[in-house]
């Protein structure tokens, strides 16, 4: 469960995600776990839905996933979740191909 201070943001993001996914605009929605500030590892876990919502991910790794998603045609019009994991980013994103 998210902290109370995040609830308004999360509600607004859910509305925006829903609107975008129903539009005709190409999109990729990446939903990271709790963000941390340590140096990135380049390894993540990616899935349509991560079961353990308490897992975190490094901000640098989120940025790397976003960059990788820009050039991955299979990521177009997809929504997926990411947390820290043991697979290199390119390998972790293979689930959407």
Could you list the mean pLDDT of each consecutive 10-residue stretch along the chain, which spans 97 residues?
A: 85 96 96 96 96 93 97 94 96 88
Q: Is 19 a catalytic residue?
A: no
Which of 7, 9, 48, 90 is catalytic? The answer is 9
User: Structural domains in the chain?
Assistant: 4-96 (3.40.50.720)
pTM: 0.90
What does the alpha-carbon distance between residue 27 and residue 4 come to, in Å, rounded to a whole number? Answer: 28
Nearest to 82 by CA among 51, 57, 54: 57
On whether the CB atoms of residues 68 and 61 are closer than 8 A, the answer is no
């Amino acid at each position: 469960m998210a902290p109370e201070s995040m609830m308004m943001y999360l509600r607004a993001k859910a509305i925006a995600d829903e609107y975008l996914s129903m539009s005709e605009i190409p999109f990729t929605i990446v939903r990271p776990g709790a963000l941390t500030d340590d140096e990135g590892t380049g390894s993540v876990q990616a899935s349509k839905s991560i079961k353990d919502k308490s897992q975190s991910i490094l901000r640098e790794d989120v940025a790397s996933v976003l960059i990788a998603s820009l050039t991955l045609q299979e990521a177009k019009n997809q929504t997926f979740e990411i947390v820290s994991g043991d697979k290199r980013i390119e390998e972790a994103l293979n689930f959407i191909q």
